[in-house]
Amino acid sequence: MSEAPHRDDAGAKLGMWLFLFTELLLFGGLFVLYAVYVTRHPESFASASNELDLVFGTINTLILITSSLAVAASVTALRKGSPGTAQVLLGAAIAAAMVFMINKYFEWSEKIEHGLYAGSSLLKDRADGWGVYFGLYYFTTGLHGLHVIIGAAILAWVFIQVRSGRINREHYISLENAGLYWHLVDLIWIFVFPLYYLIL
């Protein structure tokens, strides 16, 4: 009779936290860069921020917060022995990620159509801070969008594992780690939203 494979849940959790720390360093660097330039071009950043759609930003914020709650609830459901409920909640979180990216696509498309992107002829006629603002905006939100896609793919993999029974109430560390990653994606957006959309 073969022995059960060794599992190190504590090590897996520690590894995830270390990985998340490197992600925080990445976005933290972007936030520091933002802080440097907003102090140099406060008026341009405030004016450029008015070109963003606050409705899109607010809706996407609510979408990510709701999806993060769904993922947290899925962990609780699985630990209580309700894999079906966990799957429904994970499915809702994945759907929310898709809606987030669709909204971001339309938001970006509208801005690009109006010539609001780094290096455009429109921005060349405006103060230097406008180009810097939109350069940082597209890079930061684009990088965050990539993390949303990766996070949704991880949640989809976890969904399949829960459905097959490989992830269950006794072995749920993969779901917890996926949840931690998704909470990071949510947390980063909580910083991005006010920095870019709510400049006064």
CATH class of 9-197: mainly alpha
Please give the model's pTM, rounded to 2 decimal places.
0.91
pLDDT of residue 13: 84
C-alpha span between 158 and 154 (Å, rounded): 6
Tell me phi and psi for residue 118, to 5 degrees: -60, 130
**DSSP labels for the chain?**
-PPPPP--HHHHHHHHHHHHHHHHHHHHHHHHHHHHHHHHSHHHHHHHHTTS-HHHHHHHHHHHHHHHHHHHHHHHHHHTT-HHHHHHHHHHHHHHHHHHHHHHHHHHHHHHHTT-STT-HHHHTS-HHHHHHHHHHHHHHHHHHHHHHHHHHHHHHHHHHHHHTSS-SSS-HHHHHHHHHHHHHHHHHHHHHHHHH---
> Which of these ranges, 31-45, 72-86, 109-123, has the smallest mean pLDDT?
109-123
Q: pLDDT exceeding 70 applies to what percent of the chain?
A: 95
Give 163-172 pLDDT, tens digit per residue.
Answer: 999 999 888 8
Length of the chain: 200
> What pLDDT score does 200 carry?
59
Sorting pLDDT into bands at 50, 70 and 90, what band is 124?
A: confident
User: How many other C-beta atoms lie within 10 A of the C-beta of residue 58?
Assistant: 13
What mean pLDDT is predicted for residues 150-158?
97
20: burial class by Cβ within 10 Å (0-12, 13-18, 19+)? middle
Percentage of the chain modeled with pLDDT above 90: 79
| Both structure tokens of 129 | 């801070």
